[in-house]
């Protein structure tokens, strides 16, 4: 981590350094290793990794402590399910990228999501976030906010109780 970056941030250390994408031209082991060296120097407190495979995560975990993982994961995109399974055994925070996914839904998938949302008196986005919160204790959605109303709507997802039937219907959306 360059001193100039820390200077621009007006700090001696960043609390979480999230490496956004491993460089395919470099050995996987070198990248978390370099971050671990920065951690030992006190320039970063925690290491996070983004957009990696389950195998890469296991390799990184064998080298150093990892505090967070961030991969694309939502109602319709479960390509990182294997990463989530590895992380459930090791880590506190899996940060799913693009958590709501509601705008990407069409046809029968949107209809099924709308049915669950209507039955719970919620929005599509709230159901998508509630599904993540019910799916795994390590999933920590960090949805964006496009308007002043969004934070309250997003926080409302915490209060939604999804039934086993709701979860089954939502789980089926990935294969629809």
Per-residue pLDDT tens digits for 104-162: 667 777 888 899 999 999 998 899 999 999 999 999 998 888 888 889 999 999 999 99
**Phi and psi angles of residue 33, each rounded to the nearest 5 degrees, phi first:** -65, -40
Q: What is the mean pLDDT of residues 33-47?
A: 93
Of 2-6, 114-118, 138-142, 167-171, which range is least confident? 2-6
Give, for 54, the enclosing helix (H) or strand (E).
Answer: helix 54-63
The number of beta carbons lying within 10 Å of the beta carbon of residue 167 is 15
Q: Give mean pLDDT, residues 24-53.
A: 93
- Residues 4, 10: Cα–Cα separation, whole Å: 9
Q: What is the pTM of this model?
A: 0.87
Cα distance between residue 140 and residue 129, in whole Å: 9
Q: What is the pLDDT of residue 2?
A: 65
Question: What is residue 12's predicted lDDT score, i.e. its pLDDT?
Answer: 86
Per-residue confidence (pLDDT) for residue 176, from 0 to 100: 57
Output the furthest CA–CA distance in the chain (Å, rounded): 53
């Amino acid at each position: 981590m360059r001193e100039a970056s820390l200077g621009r941030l007006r700090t001696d250390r960043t609390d979480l350094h999230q490496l956004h994408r491993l460089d395919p031209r470099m050995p996987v082991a070198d990248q978390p290793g370099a971050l671990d060296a920065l951690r030992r120097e006190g320039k970063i407190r925690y290491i996070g990794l983004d957009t990696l495979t389950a195998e890469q995560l296991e390799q990184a975990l064998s080298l150093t402590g990892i505090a967070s993982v961030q991969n694309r994961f939502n109602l319709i995109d479960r390509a990182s399910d294997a990463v989530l399974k590895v992380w459930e055994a090791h880590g506190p925070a899996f940060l799913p990228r693009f958590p709501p996914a509601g705008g990407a839904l069409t046809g029968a998938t949107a209809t099924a999501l709308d049915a669950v949302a209507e039955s719970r008196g919620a929005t599509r986005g709230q159901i998508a976030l509630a599904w993540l919160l019910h799916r795994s204790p390590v999933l920590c959605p960090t949805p964006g906010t496009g308007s002043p109303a969004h934070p309250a709507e997003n926080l409302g997802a915490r209060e939604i109780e999804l039934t086993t039937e709701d979860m089954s219907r939502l789980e089926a959306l990935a294969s629809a």
